[in-house]
């Protein structure tokens, strides 16, 4: 496995610093049609990275708000007709004016309804990035996956190949979250070695990773580069959160939000992380 930065000549640590600066300086508005369970966490994390959150999800206003957006973030939950209508409305505006669209296919593979809606979304909308857990990405790629509710279970030894296959099929950068995150386009795949096991004890950390990808895509022109450094930054925040005192998942989540804010504020200049990104394909 080769360890290389993505799209920049400097080292990974310097590239992350530059990426964080790009996001905070541009302050992209992230128009988010997201899961009600995690709306507040998603909004806070977008803000902590230096972007601006807005959750305008009613048909009519959703499209209007997109005219000023730097990125869109879609969750396929809840599966309401008005939410799906708003997705198509905002996507039409985004594609017209060149705003990146990030899809978080929550619960892909869990029910036929979600499978049908996602199939239609993928056939009609050009997504910039797709972020899901190993099971969701595998299900979207048309392969056998084990998903219970919104949780991925089972083993996914070929997840890098699966992510690349989905990227080639959709034209999107694919972020598959798990023990190690995989970020892939049709030509390459990268493994991100960052994070902590406590991330799996908090509902909504996958949504927060998707929010990170959308925020970075709003501030960085290259979606592969944006997605790689979003996954890295979020994983580092997960590690920093575990290094602070916590009593359980609730206090760990608070640490996670604080840690993301501190990484963005400090632009991560105080650590060596040049071994955290590995090109694996």
Give CA–CA dist 6/216, Å, rounded: 14
What is the CA angle 38-45-28, rounded to 5? 115
Give CA–CA dist 76/24, Å, rounded: 28
Nearest to 181 by CA among 140, 238, 255, 109: 238
Nearest to 214 by CA among 108, 99, 133: 99
Known binding residue 204? Answer is yes
Crossing angle (nearest 10°) for helices 205-219 and 223-243: 140
Known binding residue 131? Answer is yes
First to last CA, the chain: 8
Q: Are 128 and 100 in contact (CB under 8 A)?
A: yes
For tokens 């994983």, name the residue: 235
Give CA–CA dist 146/127, Å, rounded: 24
Known binding residue 32? Answer is no
Known binding residue 109? Answer is no
* Binding annotation for ATP: 131, 177
* Binding annotation for substrate: 55, 204
* Binding annotation: 55, 131, 177, 204
């Amino acid at each position: 496995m080769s360890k290389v930065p993505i799209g920049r000549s400097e080292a990974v640590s310097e590239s992350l610093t530059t990426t964080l600066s790009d996001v905070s300086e541009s302050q992209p508005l992230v128009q988010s049609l997201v899961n009600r369970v995690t709306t507040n966490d998603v909004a806070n994390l977008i803000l902590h990275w230096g972007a601006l959150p807005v959750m305008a999800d009613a048909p009519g206003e959703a499209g209007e708000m997109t005219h000023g957006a730097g990125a869109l973030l879609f969750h396929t939950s809840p599966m309401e007709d008005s939410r799906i209508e708003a997705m198509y409305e905002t996507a039409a505006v985004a594609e017209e004016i060149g705003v990146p669209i990030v899809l978080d296919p929550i619960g892909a593979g869990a029910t036929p309804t979600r499978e049908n809606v996602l199939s239609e979304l993928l056939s009609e909308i050009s997504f910039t990035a797709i972020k899901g857990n190993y099971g969701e990405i595998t299900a979207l790629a048309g392969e056998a996956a084990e998903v219970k509710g919104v949780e991925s279970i089972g083993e996914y030894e070929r997840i890098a190949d699966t992510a690349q296959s989905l990227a080639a099929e959709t034209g999107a950068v694919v972020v598959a979250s798990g023990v190690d995150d995989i970020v892939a386009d049709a030509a390459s795949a990268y493994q991100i070695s960052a994070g902590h096991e406590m991330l799996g004890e908090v509902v909504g950390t996958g949504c927060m990773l998707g929010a990170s990808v959308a925020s970075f895509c709003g501030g960085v022109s290259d979606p592969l580069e944006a997605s790689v450094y979003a996954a890295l930054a979020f994983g580092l925040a997960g590690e920093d959160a575990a290094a602070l005192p916590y009593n359980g998942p609730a206090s760990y989540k608070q640490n996670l939000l604080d840690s993301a804010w501190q990484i963005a504020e400090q632009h991560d200049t105080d650590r060596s992380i040049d071994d955290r990104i590995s090109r694996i394909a």
